[in-house]
Amino acid sequence: MEARLLEALRICDSWQDRFSFVIESGDAAAAGAGSGREVIAHAVCTRGYVDDVPVLALGPIAVLPDRQRSGAGSALVHGLIGAANATAEPMIVLLGSPVYYGRFGFVRSSDVGVEPPEPEWHEHFQARMLSSYRQTMRGEFVYASPFRTVQ
């Protein structure tokens, strides 16, 4: 499902090239006769809105199973937070594990007045405030349309 979602996101208005990151292995032997490199992890942020304020939504994010727990996911999340801050984005939201994302400064979104699209997501819907964040950014979060339409 996430592969179909990503394909739909790439061709929608909410796609942001500058927030689409991959990590390559740089291991020519692992890639065979192709480009000489293998993509081992990827993550994207797309445009979403809190009320009518543009913010970013992180996801999908994934690391190849045999490359997990070696820091690739952390590098992607830190990289996206840095890129978002550098371009004056105010906030990143996501749906994921509070244990994992808490280490990057994500907090339960409803604690800062940002309500998830599905109330039952509770603490799994999280927000990371960035330098341009303002406390007036409150309301319901709305994802890019493929998040609602792709099955």
Ligand X SMILES: CC(C)(COP(=O)(O)OP(=O)(O)OC[C@H]1O[C@@H](n2cnc3c(N)ncnc32)[C@H](O)[C@@H]1OP(=O)(O)O)[C@@H](O)C(=O)NCCC(=O)NCCS
Interface ranges with ligand X (CB under 6 A): 61-63, 68-74, 96-97, 99-100
β partners of residue 20 = 44
CB of 78 to ligand X, least distance (A): 9
Which residue's CB is nearer to ligand X, number 33 or number 65? 65
Which residue's CB is nearer to ligand X, number 74 or number 85? 74
Which residue's CB is nearer to ligand X, number 62 or number 107? 62
Residue in 75, 76, 71 with CA at minimum distance from that of residue 59:
76
CB of 135 to ligand X, least distance (A): 26
CB of 94 to ligand X, least distance (A): 7
- Phi, psi dihedrals of residue 76, rounded to the nearest 5°: -65, -45
Distance from C-alpha of 91 to C-alpha of 94, rounded to nearest angstrom = 10
Which residue's CB is nearer to ligand X, number 97 or number 145? 97
Distance from C-alpha of 73 to C-alpha of 101, rounded to nearest angstrom = 10
Q: Hunting for tokens 């280490």 — which residue is that?
A: 103
CB of 108 to ligand X, least distance (A): 15
Residue facing ligand X at closest CB distance: 73
Q: How far is CA 9 from CA 47, 86, 98, 146, in A?
A: 10, 23, 25, 6
